[in-house]
Amino acid sequence: MKVREVEKNMQNPLRELRERLDLSRPAFARKLGVSYNMLAAAEAGYPRRLPVGIRRGLAALGEDVERIAVDYERWRAGQKERAA
């Protein structure tokens, strides 16, 4: 499978993490210290890059922020190609 095909089939890394932690969106937003709307937008792929607030929250949870940020951008690129 080509890299581009993998990117198209990826799931949003924020959503994957939230589901792995077994948290609702509101609960995950509270844990991250961000608004529900900011998290919902990021899960939908609206910001091009992960917002600073989400990055800070991920770091506070002990997550690998850079890996998640890179995966997010790859996922978003795959979504963009899928829509085209």
- pTM, 2 dp: 0.84
Task: Tell me how far apart the alpha carbons of residues 78 and 72 are, in angstroms, rounded to a whole number.
Answer: 10
Average model confidence (pLDDT) for the chain? 89
Domain tally, the chain: 1
What's the pLDDT at 78? Answer: 87
What's the pLDDT at 49? Answer: 93
Task: Tell me how far apart the alpha carbons of residues 58 and 65 are, in angstroms, rounded to a whole number.
Answer: 6
Residue 84 has pLDDT above 60, yes or no: no
Phi-psi bin for 49: left (phi > 0), alpha (psi -120 to 50), beta?
beta
Write the pLDDT tens digit of every residue in 4-45. 544 456 899 999 999 999 999 999 999 999 999 999 999 999
The CATH code of the domain that includes 37 is: 1.10.260
**Domain of residue 28, residue span:** 3-83
Task: Tell me how far apart the alpha carbons of residues 81 and 25 are, in angstroms, rounded to a whole number.
Answer: 26
What's the pLDDT at 7? Answer: 47
